[in-house]
Structure 1
């Protein structure tokens, strides 16, 4: 049987009921005091968010504070997110940690949380600039422009090595959120700086793997020439890779992508289709979000609204094998 100290280190899981169609999971966020409730929202179920959860839990276990953590996978649904945020705000949570589904549609719920005295911490995505300044205490963010620039520079390097001065590139996007738009702008900036004759032949939404496979396959069928895909998310990247394999275009079309997963690491290790992947570790973001949440709950003044998360380029099979070796659980 656990003693009192061990029990205090165990997070209490609170279920808000089937009406929210939510699964409450064991987890915790570091904070001072004798516990409290914290709302945590994931935009969807892609691997990045599993990494965020892992990072928060690992950071919390070292600090050992008791908390009631209320979690929701919003599944990209702003109304689902809003219902959850309204409910936990009324339930008296001390903080809300979220990657908002929409820069605009998520504003009313976040505003209500703020006006209810809830500290709001964004990670990955956030609200419009004005709303973020008004209602958000901190934003854990890997620079999306730098993110895209790393991929664009690597794409330019690859095509120059292949003697292709005018590559035709198709984009699979996740541009319902601002960070994905910024990723593309960074990609284009670095690409065109080195290869001014490069062309973006199409830019279509393909956020999840299944959607991206379908969209990428249509693009490969419709476009007379596609030298590469740029995937703005992990799902779009994996979907592009699978479509290239399915079409038998290995050796003809390559992929530059985003948001590392175990499957993408294996594709990068193979290196025939996926040539580079840029990543912001979900685990590291979770750790930063946990510590930042502790700070804002305690009333600490942050040096800046933006809490920077590291952005990394993986461009070789050796990079991919190291990623897999250091992450046996496969979480980014």
Structure 2
């Protein structure tokens, strides 16, 4: 009897081990929606692909670029539901406007993983399995501190700041709050003299150039995202303002790192690694597919500050392929 019991336990262990191995080896079919095809989102895409390889899983990724359009995002989520994906990874275009499509995925039994942006708190708790995010307030606060360091060193106690924003998404509003709180705590005379949308590169160059023409006393720009940061820097150069107007911004790219390495215009950049966040989002998707969603919806990711020429050069060396 003891021998039979041992054999039975051994058989059960083999079956369990086989089941676990099967789960680990199972192919993944995941939908991924990006707001853009380059920069940060190219990094997210690479992170998702690398994350699948690191996890020992074979990944089929069904992906698209929503281009900041809620209707395109909604249509593609319906496509993903029909395609039978096991999870959807998305940076929602709108905290309020994206929930209907995401709810349809949730109701179809497909776990939805947010990264970078998400739904409002109530809908997030209802329809989201996990949210991979770098704290947007800390993001802005780190940059505000860096700006304060610069202005104090330059003995400018009443700097005029212009903001190029991406505030059609809530995280950018929160980034600005963090920036203002940190800056004004140390430089109380700092003043935001303009705040306009300029998330894409072309628009940011145009808006920043107009701001400089109408208000030549601007001491600095705060670019809330990558396109805004680089656009502000290009406008400063095209308007002959190098040495007079500087830029503090978010989201590292090759061009932004080159500007930081030059250190003539861009003085500090705060960044959340696209590749790192993509890996984290996929890891949460795999856990959700395997029935192991996290106890806390928000899963934090590190925020990096780059503020010297050497920081820019180091980033370029570490990202020779140009993907953040």
TM-score normalised by the chain length of structure 2: 0.91
- Give the SS at the match of 1:125: coil
* 1:124 alignment partner, one of 116, 124, 128: 116
- Whether 1:295 and 2:297 are equivalent positions in the alignment is no
Of 68-77 and 32-41, deviating more is: 32-41
Cross-structure match for 1:220: 212
Instruction: Encode CA deviations 1:129-169: one digit per residue, 9 max, x unaligned.
Output: 11111100000000100000011011011001111000000
Taking the aligned partners of 2:274 and 2:257, their CA distance within structure 1 comes to: 15
Residue 51 of structure 1 contacts residue 286 of structure 1 at CA under 8 Å; is this kept in 2? yes
Taking the aligned partners of 2:28 and 2:234, their CA distance within structure 1 comes to: 45
Of 126-135 and 88-97, deviating more is: 88-97
Taking the aligned partners of 1:312 and 1:54, their CA distance within structure 2 comes to: 19
Cross-structure match for 2:5: none
Cross-structure match for 1:61: 53
Taking the aligned partners of 2:88 and 2:287, their CA distance within structure 1 comes to: 13
Matches within 5 A, 1:278-317: 278-317=270-309
Which of the two has greater helix per residue? 2
Taking the aligned partners of 1:52 and 1:240, their CA distance within structure 2 comes to: 24
Of 211-220 and 97-106, deviating more is: 97-106
**1:66, distance to aligned residue in structure 2 (A):** 2.5
Instruction: Encode CA deviations 1:73-124: one digit per residue, 9 max, x unaligned.
Output: 1111111110000121133211010001111111110000000000000000
- Whether 1:275 and 2:267 are equivalent positions in the alignment is yes
- Give the SS at the match of 2:189: coil
Taking the aligned partners of 1:267 and 1:211, their CA distance within structure 2 comes to: 19
Cross-structure match for 1:241: 233
Taking the aligned partners of 2:317 and 2:28, their CA distance within structure 1 comes to: 37
Taking the aligned partners of 1:293 and 1:182, their CA distance within structure 2 comes to: 26
CA RMSD in angstroms comes to 1.1
Taking the aligned partners of 1:123 and 1:75, their CA distance within structure 2 comes to: 16
Runs of 4+ in 1 over 3 A off after TM superposition: none
Residue 24 of structure 2 contacts residue 56 of structure 2 at CA under 8 Å; is this kept in 1? no
Larger Rg, first or second structure (1 or 2): 2
Residue 46 of structure 1 contacts residue 235 of structure 1 at CA under 8 Å; is this kept in 2? no
* 2:88 alignment partner, one of 93, 96, 101: 96
Residue 36 of structure 2 contacts residue 66 of structure 2 at CA under 8 Å; is this kept in 1? yes
Residue 141 of structure 1 contacts residue 309 of structure 1 at CA under 8 Å; is this kept in 2? yes
**1:290, distance to aligned residue in structure 2 (A):** 1.3
Structure 1 unpaired stretches of 5+: 1-30
Instruction: Encode CA deviations 1:42-65: one digit per residue, 9 max, x unaligned.
Output: 011230010011111112112332
Cross-structure match for 1:115: 107
**1:36, distance to aligned residue in structure 2 (A):** 4.3
TM-score normalised by the chain length of structure 1: 0.89
Cross-structure match for 1:178: 170
